Amino acid sequence: MTKYKLAFVVFDSAKEKHAVAIAEDGRDGEVRYFREIENSPDAVEKFATKLSRRYGQLHFCYEARPTAYELDGQLWV
């Protein structure tokens, strides 16, 4: 069951970890630093699955740099 409709998830990607921030939808939506997650397919999948239970729709964004190309493939699968 979703608690919120929409969230924007921002990754600052790096070789070993991704720093993550979340912005909730709407003018009064909260924007906050979430935490760092490991730069591994399992950690990214677990994180995205957890968020998908809370939000009805997720939009991901990240830097276009070499450490983000693998992240892009993980989020589209």
Which two three-digit tokens encode residue 25?
Answer: 């939808």
Helices 41-54 and 66-76 meet at what angle, rounded to 10?
A: 50
Q: What is the average per-residue pLDDT within 1-6?
A: 70
Per-residue pLDDT tens over the stretch 9-68: 999 988 889 999 999 888 888 899 999 999 888 999 999 999 999 998 999 988 777 767
Q: Residue 9 and residue 13: Cα distance in Å, rounded?
A: 12
Q: Is 51 exposed, middle or buried (0-12, 13-18, 19+ CB in 10 A)?
A: middle
Cα torsion 57, 72, 51, 46: sign = positive
- Phi and psi at 53, nearest 5°, equal -75, -25
Here the CATH number for the domain that contains residue 20 is 3.30.420
- Give residue 44's domain range: 4-76
pTM for this prediction: 0.78
Overall number of domains in the chain: 1
